[in-house]
Amino acid sequence: MLPLRKLGSQGLKVSAIGLGCMGMSTSYGHADEAESIATLHHALDHGVTLFDTAAIYGPYANEELLGRALKDRREKAIVATKFGYDIVDGRFAGLNGKPDNIRMAVEGSLRRLQTDHIDLFYQHRIDPNVPIEEVAGAVGDLVREGKVRFLGLSEAGVANIRRAHKTFPVSAVQSEYSLWERSLESEIIPALRELDIGLVPYSPLGRGFLTGAVKRAEDYPATDFRHGDPRFQGENFDANVRAAQVIQDIAAEHGAKAGKSRSPGCCTRARISYRSPEPSVEAICRTISTRPASASIRARSPGWMRLSIPRACRGRAIRKPIWP
């Protein structure tokens, strides 16, 4: 079975490997529900406890899928979902972090997930028009009512993390983090250590770049989010492929696939935070630690290997924005 990791200091414990469910309903082209449910059950049977979804995935379809998959198995799972958008006629219609919308969102998520509580409730993106104190306070009310157990933030910056945590304890912050996307290291991760907040890194394979199997934006169907992602376009794509090539070269030397020698978030203990888990997993991960000046990787292939990736190889042509 998988070891557990603590998220925050409020009592939340999750498996060291989690499963991000978004791609089972949206964003990566056609999805097969039967295969998705089989995957969810397989993860449960092998000790995965943390399952990550959101109202916007589908929208709604992903929460409904997870609700069906976890029916009669709910006690084995830690369910994380997200709020923070207006959804009109099945489409994204803007950010909405108002307390009344949060209360409406939790009722919808509870219904779709077929549960009486949500373990980890994230604000999906910061609404700049609503003070974060109001958001944290609203979720705090839901915790006291028993509808939510823990508060999380997704893609939040240091200022909002601190302000929210001062209002109501934040147990986890979810952000993209891998060898390919390391913008958290200068400010976010030190703040999480200081505040004793868990890090939930997603996309440990760098949206596929670290596998060596990515294509240009125009080669993906219009229904795939990568079709419109600037990181997959033109010169950005070329720069990102070059940056990821070092992983492929090292993997080839050891007779392994690039995806097996990946990602600073994977089952991390040492330098990031011993409380950080590895949810939102695109593939089962095993390994590693990071250092401020270089990426230190240990990967199980034939034996252990250790390497350093020069700073010059770690940049990206385009970085995604994080709210302040």
Q: Which residues are catalytic?
A: 57
Asked if 175 contacts 202 with a C-beta cutoff of 8 angstroms, the reply is yes
Asked if 22 contacts 54 with a C-beta cutoff of 8 angstroms, the reply is yes
Contacts of 105 (CB under 8 A, 6+ apart): 55, 83, 84
Asked if 135 contacts 102 with a C-beta cutoff of 8 angstroms, the reply is yes
Contacts of 45 (CB under 8 A, 6+ apart): none
- Distance from C-alpha of 154 to C-alpha of 66, rounded to nearest angstrom: 20
- In residues, how long is the chain? 324
Asked if 236 contacts 317 with a C-beta cutoff of 8 angstroms, the reply is yes
Closest CA to 279 of 288, 291, 268: 268
Closest CA to 184 of 22, 319, 13, 21: 319
Asked if 49 contacts 77 with a C-beta cutoff of 8 angstroms, the reply is yes
Residue 144 gets the label, from left (phi > 0), alpha (psi -120 to 50) or beta, of: alpha
Asked if 309 contacts 246 with a C-beta cutoff of 8 angstroms, the reply is yes
